[in-house]
Structure 1
């Protein structure tokens, strides 16, 4: 990932992506990540977690603005 943009946001989104994979295993985004990283190489996982972080940011933006919950994501009641 080119190091463009806010470093704190970038690091936070990557951490969020790893946590998302832990806690939302049945979501479409997590399945997409697992399908892309099935070769087991560490470099592939690192690259794809950045792509997942970007996709997750878009999904979260859609959740906030339009109320669209990403496919397969389970939200807890407030």
Structure 2
């Protein structure tokens, strides 16, 4: 389950570049350079925050901040 959530977080970063979560990740990992460990730790935090944001969307209809929704 954890691996799936982390993949979902990487996908979120790729397809939602203007979201608050992506901006948080970029600020958090800016300046780490080749330090891959810091990015791996931060992506777990993004995955956790993303699960919370998506739960709020399902439960209350609150769209995650900065997320771009495509029309159906």
SS at match of 1:12: helix
Moved over 4 A (4+): none
Give the TM-score taking structure 2 as reference length. 0.93
Q: How many residues align?
A: 70
Question: What do you get for the CA RMSD once the two structures are aligned?
Answer: 0.7
Query: Shift of residue 22 of structure 1?
Result: 0.4
Partner residue in 2 for 1:51: 45
Q: Deviations over 1:25-61 (max 9, x none)?
A: 0100000000000122211000000000000000000
Q: Distance in 1 between matches of 2:71 and 2:58?
A: 16
Q: How does 1:66-77 map to 2 (within 5 A)?
A: 66-77=60-71
Which residue does 2:18 correspond to in 1? 26
TM-score normalised by L of structure 1? 0.86
